């Protein structure tokens, strides 16, 4: 039985204030922290000013005290009810998700079970591959590449530890290559390398780094990208530093990249309202590449449903704070999987030491977990998966490999 719900303001990896929730039940405390995005989707749950903490804490604690922590669905419905809006604009998606996840963690703790097992049961038996951001630009590092994220997937690794070590080796090898080529590189919000190079150069240097790592380890690594195309779209064109592309040109450009660099994963290749453009690209390359919607779907069951009807993608990005409750996150995962789509669980660019999404990625049978490569707020999740691996779980089987 929930005896108390409290909040405090803590800091994220960008130094911004965010909210932490603690749920007290019996002898246990469940705790979770809300992350936050920089290239957020228009249709995401609203982030409310953390300094509204007193007012919101009073509302949420009054509503939830007395519930059993095992009543996750009823509690999540109650959060929606006291908010009273579609997008959590009153109590905030940030307050809501911290509460919802803290409730689940208290439930797992009361049963003495890891969270992934509490949520995923006997079907949570596989580990996702880490999808690691190694070169980045866009909103995460202005002045760097146009494409927001150049990602790596260590498809040849047969366990999670090796997978993460491989991604880390690519990240370190890139540092050496930048130095050798006289390119000054610093790190963006997610720890990926940011520098003044073109997107083409980024692909070439990354391919070189992957080749070096393959020679050293024998592990095959494939490339993915998050175009975060909403940030490039001006209402008429996709605006790059040196050129402008129409929707049709953008689709051919991305399809070309898929074949030239054998991309396994492409996220948000078109802007957040272009379900049709997504469908065209998916028709062209969806038989050999994961086409994933982030800002397009915002973990929202209605938008995913529309994408399924229009065949806009074959993969959905899952960010619990985009929708605000664990129950709605679970529904988004379920509809995607029921329709044969792949699931990728993701961090935000503003993160903390909270490692809940590591457990969610296992519970939801995600193919990939997108949570960076370096930086404590990223390794918090990766290291938790290394611990979970000790429970005897095997790697999932990736599509198109
Ligand atoms: P965000 O970006 O967390 O800044 O929204 C990450 C992404 O676009 O995947
Ligand atoms: Zn994205």
Which atom of ligand 1 sits closest to the CA of residue 347? 3
pLDDT at 318: 99
CB 6 within 8 A of CB 98: no
Give this prediction's pTM. 0.98
Strands 244-245 and 238-239, by their bridges, are antiparallel
Other CB atoms within 10 Å distance of the CB of residue 4: 12
Q: Based on the residue annotation, tell me whether 319 is a catalytic residue of this protein.
A: yes
Q: Which residues line ligand 1 (CB under 6 A)?
A: 37-40, 226, 228, 294, 346, 348-349
Q: Which of 20, 44, 190, 377 is the catalytic position?
A: 190
pLDDT at 287: 98
Q: Rounded to whole angstroms, how far apart are CA atoms 228 and 289?
A: 17
Burial of 305 by CB count in 10 Å (0-12 exposed, 13-18 middle, 19+ buried)? middle
CB 126 within 8 A of CB 117: no
pLDDT at 142: 86
pLDDT at 246: 98
Annotated ligand binding at 347? The verdict is yes
pLDDT at 271: 98
Site to substitute for ligand 1 among 267, 292, 294, most atoms within 8 A of C-beta: 294
Model ipTM value: 0.98
Q: Which ligand gives the minimal distance to the CA of 347?
A: 1
Averaged pLDDT, groups of 10, the chain, 401 residues long? 98 98 98 96 97 98 98 98 98 98 98 98 96 95 94 98 99 98 96 97 98 98 98 97 96 98 98 98 98 98 98 99 98 98 98 98 98 98 98 98 97
> How many A from CA of 226 to the centre of ligand 1?
9
pLDDT at 91: 98
């Amino acid at each position: 039985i929930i005896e108390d719900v409290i909040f405090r303001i803590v800091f994220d990896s960008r130094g911004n204030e965010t909210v932490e929730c603690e749920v007290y039940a019996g002898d246990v405390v469940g705790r979770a922290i809300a992350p936050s995005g920089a290239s957020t989707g228009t249709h995401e749950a609203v982030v409310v000013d953390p300094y509204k903490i007193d007012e919101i804490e009073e509302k949420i604690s009054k509503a939830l005290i007395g519930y059993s922590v095992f009543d996750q669905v009823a509690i999540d419905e109650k959060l929606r009810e006291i908010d009273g809006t579609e997008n959590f604009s009153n109590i905030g998606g940030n307050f809501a998700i911290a509460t919802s996840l803290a409730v689940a963690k208290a439930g797992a703790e009361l049963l003495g079970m890891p969270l992934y097992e509490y949520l995923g049961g006997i079907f949570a038996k596989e580990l996702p591959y880490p999808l690691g951001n190694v070169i980045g630009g866009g909103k995460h590092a202005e002045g760097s590449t146009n494409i927001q994220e150049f990602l790596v997937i260590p498809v040849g690794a047969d366990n999670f530890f090796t997978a993460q070590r491989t991604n880390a080796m690519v990240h370190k090898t890139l540092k050496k290559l930048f130095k050798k080529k006289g390119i000054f590189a610093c790190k963006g919000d997610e720890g990926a390398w940011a520098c003044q190079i073109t997107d083409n150069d980024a692909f070439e240097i990354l391919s070189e780094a992957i080749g070096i790592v393959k020679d050293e380890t024998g592990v095959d690594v494939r490339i993915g990208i998050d175009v975060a195309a909403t940030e490039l779209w001006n209402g008429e064109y996709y605006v790059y530093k040196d050129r402008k592309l129409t929707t049709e040109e953008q689709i051919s450009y991305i399809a070309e990249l898929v074949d030239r660099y054998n991309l396994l994963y492409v996220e948000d290749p078109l802007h957040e309202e272009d379900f049709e453009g997504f469908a065209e690209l998916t028709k062209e390359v969806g038989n050999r590449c994961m086409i994933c919607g982030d800002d397009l779907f915002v973990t929202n069951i209605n938008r995913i449903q529309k994408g399924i009807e229009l065949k806009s993608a074959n993969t959905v990005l899952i960010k619990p704070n985009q929708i605000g409750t664990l129950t709605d996150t679970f529904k988004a995962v379920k509809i995607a999987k029921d329709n044969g789509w792949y699931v990728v669980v993701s961090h935000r660019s503003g993160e903390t030491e909270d490692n809940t999404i590591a457990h969610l990625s296992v519970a939801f049978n995600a193919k990939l977990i997108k949570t960076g490569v370096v930086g404590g707020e990223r390794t918090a999740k990766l290291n938790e998966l290394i611990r979970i691996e000790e429970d005897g779980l095997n790697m999932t089987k990736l599509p198109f490999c």
